[in-house]
Amino acid sequence: MIRYTRAMRPLAAVALSLLSAIPLVAQDKLVETIEVKVVNVDVVVTDRSGKAITGLTKDDFELFENGKPQAITNFYEIMPEQHVVIRTGTTESAPSAPSTAAAPPAAAAAPEDIRARRFVFLIDNYSMEPSQRNKTLAAMRKFIDTNFKQGDEAALYIWSRKAEQISPLTKDKDAILKGIDTTLARSRSGMSAIEEEGRTRQTCSEIMMEVDGSHMTWDQAWLHCQGGVRAFTQSVWDNESTLLKDMKGIVSTLGGVDGRKVLVLAGAHLPEHPGRETMLWAAQQFEQHLPKGSQLVTRAMSEGNGRSQTLAITDVANFANANGVAFYTIDAADQRNESGAESPTMSDATDSFMSFSDTASAFKALADITGGAALSGTQNFEVAFQTLTRDLTTFYSIGYKPAEGTAASRKISVRTKKSGLTVRARRSYTPKSSDQEMNDRVVANLFHQPAQSEWPITLTAKTPEKNGDRFTVPVTIAMQPNITLIPQEKNLVGGFILYIVVGTKDGAMSKVTKNARKIEIPANAEADLRSKPMTFTLMLSVKPGDSVVSVGVTDQISEATGFDRVQVSAQ
C-alpha cells in the first residue's frame, strides 16, 4: 500500500503481480558503489549598491563545508554582456613559482548558462489582495515574455488553503502566459488572512463595548476575546503549516531534474510566529481595564513566541537546497496605512512593524538559505524579477568535492577575499544516495518529459475496471532483457529495483514505492532469458479521474536506469 505525502487526496493502492517466469527473490542491492561527486554552488556577488560584480577569479573565493575550508575544483563565470565563460581546470594543481610571463585565465566564446532553467511560480491567493496579486502576475508575465528562452520550463501554482496547479511544468511559453491571464481573471472566494485578522480584532472591540460591569465584566470580556484570538491563531498556524508542506511537495517535483531551478513565492502573510501580533494587540486593549499585576502583554508575548514556525521554514529551505532549488520571495504586503483614523481595529506603529517584520523575516530566511533574494517594503514587484533576471545571467559557479561521511546536511559558506562585497549562495548541501536520486527521478518523470532511459522499458495500461468506489487498472512493464548478470557457482545472478509513483495533473502524488528483485538462472538458460522482454504487471487501485503512473527501474549491477510513464483515465 502506498502512503501519501502532502495534504493531498489519496491516489492509488498498488499490488505487485509478477508475470514472467524468471526466478525472482526479494533482494537488497547486489553491488555497492562509491561515487565521488562534485558539488556545484551558484554564487552571486554584488557591491553595497546591489550592482553585480564580475571579473573575479577562483583565487578570490573561499568555500567552507561545516566550517572547514574546501579546495575549489571547478570554477566558471557567466557574463551575459560579453557571452564569455571563464573556466579553470577540474582538479587542483600544485602551486608554481610566480612568473612574469604567466598568461591570463583562458577565455572562450560561449553562450549564456547552457543549463536548462526551470521556474515554478507560487501565488498565495489566500494572503494577497486581488490588486497585489494582479500586480505580481503582471510583473511575472513581463518576465516570462522577455526572458523565457528555448529549453526553459515553467509552472504556475496558486494557493488558497491548498495548492492548485494552473499550468504544469512546460516549455510552451504561450501556455504559461495563458495560465497567468486565467489567474488574473479569477476572483477570490472567502476572506484573506488579513481580513480574518481584522474580523478577529473587530469582534474583540465589539466585546469591549458590551462591558457594563454586571452582565459582562472585563474579566469575562477578556476570556471571550482571548478565545477568539486563539482560534484565529490556530487557523493561521494550520494554514501556514499546509502552505509549507505544499511548498515542499512542489520542490520535490524538481528534485530529479537537472538545471537551474527557481521557485518564486509571492504572498503577503507567512509569519514566523502566527497570531503573535494579534495576541499582543488584544492584551494591550484589555490590560488597562484589569487589575494591576495581570501582565497580559507579557503573557501574550510569551504565548506568541512559543508558537514558532521558524524551524518549519528553515526545514523547507534546507529541503530546497537538497533538491537544488533557490527561492525568490516577494512580500506583497502593503505597509502603507490606508485605513481611516476612525477604524476601531487600526494597528499602532509597533504592531504594524511587528506584523511586517515577522513575515518579511520568513521570506528573507527562505531566500537567504537557498541563495535567492527577497523583496519587501515595496509594491514595485518588477524589481524582484529584475533581480532574478540578473542572477540568472551574471554569476559564478564554484565546485568542490564534499568530504566523505554521512548523508546528513552540511553547512556551506562562500566568501570573497575582497572587502565590501556581498555573496549570495545556498547555505547547505545534503548528499543523496543513488536510491534517493532514483526516487527523485521517478517523481520528476511524472511532471516532465519522460526521463532518458539507458535501459529501454515500456509501460502500458489496460482499460480500468470499476471495483466499488475505485477502479482497478492492470499496468504492464516490459523491459529489454539486457540486464547485467554475473556468474555465481553454476548460476547467473543479477537484479533490479522497481520504483513506482502515481500522480495527478494538479500536482497530487503518492510516495514512491520500491521493490528490489534478484534474478537467478542456470547458466545454460541465458539465451532463453535474452530472447524476449522481461514483463510483469502492477495492479493499481485508483480513484475516479485522470492519473499518471511513473515507473523507473535500475540494474543493481551496472546501475543502468530506465523510465516510462502512462496516463490512466478511470471513468
Domain identity same for 376 and 447: no
- Any domain includes 88: no
Domain identity same for 373 and 499: no
Sequential DSSP letters for 200-243: HHHHHHHHHHT--SSSS-HHHHHHHHHHHHHHHHHHHHHHHHHH
The predicted structure's pLDDT at residue 291: 83
**What CA–CA distance (Å, rounded) separates 325 from 331?**
19
Domain identity same for 386 and 505: no
The interaxial angle of helices 130-147 and 382-393, nearest 10 deg, is 30
Other Cβ atoms within 10 Å of 463 Cβ, number: 11
Answer with the one of 340, 358, 392 that is the final residue of a domain.
392
If residue 132 lies in a helix (H) or strand (E), which one and from where to where?
helix 130-147
Domain identity same for 447 and 370: no
Contact 302, 279 (CB under 8 A): no
If residue 367 lies in a helix (H) or strand (E), which one and from where to where?
helix 349-370
If residue 321 lies in a helix (H) or strand (E), which one and from where to where?
helix 310-322
**What CA–CA distance (Å, rounded) separates 268 from 136?**
11
The predicted structure's pLDDT at residue 102: 40
Domain identity same for 377 and 440: no
Q: What are phi and psi of 422, to 5 degrees?
A: -105, 135
**What CA–CA distance (Å, rounded) separates 245 from 430?**
19
The predicted structure's pLDDT at residue 353: 45
Q: List, in order, residues 6 or more apart from 237 with CB less than 8 Å away.
A: 274, 275, 307, 309
Count of residues for the chain? 571
Query: Which three cell numbers, joined as nine digits, stand for 367?
Result: 531566500
Domain identity same for 481 and 369: no
Amino acid letter for position 389: T
Domain identity same for 239 and 332: yes
Domain identity same for 491 and 380: no
Sequential DSSP letters for 417-480: SSTT-EEE---EE----HHHHHHHHHHHHHHSSPPP-SS-EEEEEPPPEEETTEEEEEEEEEE-
The predicted structure's pLDDT at residue 79: 84
Structure pTM?
0.80
- Any domain includes 285: yes
Tracing cell 472585563 back to the chain, one arrives at 218
Domain identity same for 300 and 212: yes
The predicted structure's pLDDT at residue 56: 93
Q: How many domains does the chain have?
A: 2
Question: For residue 93, is it left (φ>0), alpha (ψ between -120 and 50) or beta?
Answer: beta
**What CA–CA distance (Å, rounded) separates 377 from 329?**
12
* pLDDT tens, position by position, 226-243: 999 999 999 999 999 999
- Any domain includes 299: yes
**What CA–CA distance (Å, rounded) separates 79 from 85?**
7
With the C-alpha atoms ordered 234, 239, 240, 241, is the resulting torsion angle positive or negative?
positive
**What CA–CA distance (Å, rounded) separates 67 from 480?**
48
The predicted structure's pLDDT at residue 17: 42
Query: Which three cell numbers, joined as nine digits, stand for 373?
Result: 533574494
Q: List, in order, residues 6 or more apart from 489 with CB less than 8 Å away.
A: none
- Any domain includes 261: yes
Task: State whether residue 329 is helix, strand or coil.
Answer: strand
- Give helix then strand counts, H and E, for the chain: 11, 27
Task: State whether residue 505 is helix, strand or coil.
Answer: coil
Domain identity same for 450 and 519: yes
Q: Which residues on adjacent β-strands are paired with residue 331? A: 267
- Any domain includes 79: no
The predicted structure's pLDDT at residue 450: 67
pLDDT means per 10 residues in the chain (571 residues)? Answer: 35 43 45 62 92 92 94 89 48 36 42 76 90 91 92 92 89 93 82 85 93 86 93 92 93 88 92 89 89 84 87 93 94 56 40 60 92 87 91 92 80 93 93 87 82 86 88 90 91 92 79 89 91 87 86 92 90 82
End-to-end CA distance of the chain: 22
CATH classification of the domain holding 465: 2.60.40.1470
If residue 61 lies in a helix (H) or strand (E), which one and from where to where?
strand 61-65
DSSP code of 463? P
Q: Of the candidates 127, 126, 160, which has an alpha carbon nearest to the alpha carbon of residue 359?
A: 127
Query: Which three cell numbers, joined as nine digits, stand for 99?
Result: 612568473
Domain identity same for 443 and 384: no
Residue numbers of the domain that contains 148? 117-392
Domain identity same for 343 and 440: no
The string over 242-277, giving b where at least 16 C-beta atoms fall within 10 Å of a residue's C-beta and e elsewhere, is bbbbbbbbbbbbbbbbebbbbbbbbbbbbbbbbbbb
Query: Which three cell numbers, joined as nine digits, stand for 169?
Result: 511544468
Amino acid letter for position 531: S
Answer with the one of 392, 420, 449 that is the final residue of a domain.
392
CATH classification of the domain holding 268: 3.40.50.410
Answer with the one of 392, 423, 455 that is the final residue of a domain.
392
- Any domain includes 202: yes
Other Cβ atoms within 10 Å of 379 Cβ, number: 14
The predicted structure's pLDDT at residue 131: 86
- Any domain includes 69: no
- Any domain includes 265: yes
Q: Of the candidates 129, 103, 122, which has an alpha carbon nearest to the alpha carbon of residue 198?
A: 129
**What CA–CA distance (Å, rounded) separates 210 from 54?**
65
Q: Using only the alpha carbons of the chain, give its radius of gyration.
A: 28
